[in-house]
Structure formats: C-alpha cells, structure tokens
Amino acid sequence: MMPYDMLNYMYYLWITQILNLIAVATLKYSICGYLLALKFSRVYLTVVWASILMVTTFNLILPIMGCFCSTPFEANWNNSIKGKCFIKTSSPLTYSQVSPLYVCFVGVTS
C-alpha cells in the first residue's frame, strides 16, 4: 500500500466514523422517541428524558468534539502531522457509544 493510499484510507475512515456517530445517535433518538410515546408514569418519562440527554451528551456532542479536536484540521485523520487537541482523551471518547445505551435500557426496563 502506498502512503497516499493509506492517507486516503485514514481520511475516509475518519469520515465514516463521523457518519457512524450520527447514525447511531439517530437510531438511539428514534428508540427514545418511541419510548416517549409509551406514557406510563412521570418517573418513566423522567428516565426517558434523562436517556435522551445522555445520548445527546455521550453519543453525539462529546464524540464529535473528539473527532474535530485537532489543529491543524488535517491532523484529525493524518497521524504523521503533529497536532494539538483540546480534549486529552479524544480517541477513546469517540468510541464510547455502548455504555450510555446500556444505562438507558437498564434504567427504563428496571
């Protein structure tokens, strides 16, 4: 594999990572929207709204900030460029999609 191919691959991997974050958040919003339609009690609705807040924070805002944290901009996908990032744990942060979903469904089904 040529270096240009690897750089091109890293760029498209970065793009698909952002698209994946948006797609997973949209899926979780649709599940939470369906759960909002089931009006059992005030506590239930509070848990669902807390889940929506968690999805927004931990599955959309923070991971996307982790994807766009490096300056210069190309350092987000090009590891050969030394960049500065304002979030210290940007890589693990972008992959943190599972735990809030687990808390969301455990909290709702309990």
| Distance between CA atoms of residues 55 and 68, nearest Å | 19
Question: What are the pLDDT digits (tens) for 64-105?
Answer: 887 777 778 778 778 788 878 777 665 555 555 545 544 544
Measured at the CA of 34, the angle between CA 22 and CA 30, to 5 degrees, comes to 10
Q: Is the pTM of this model over 0.85?
A: no
What pLDDT shows up at residue 28?
87
Residue indicated by tokens 């760029």: 11
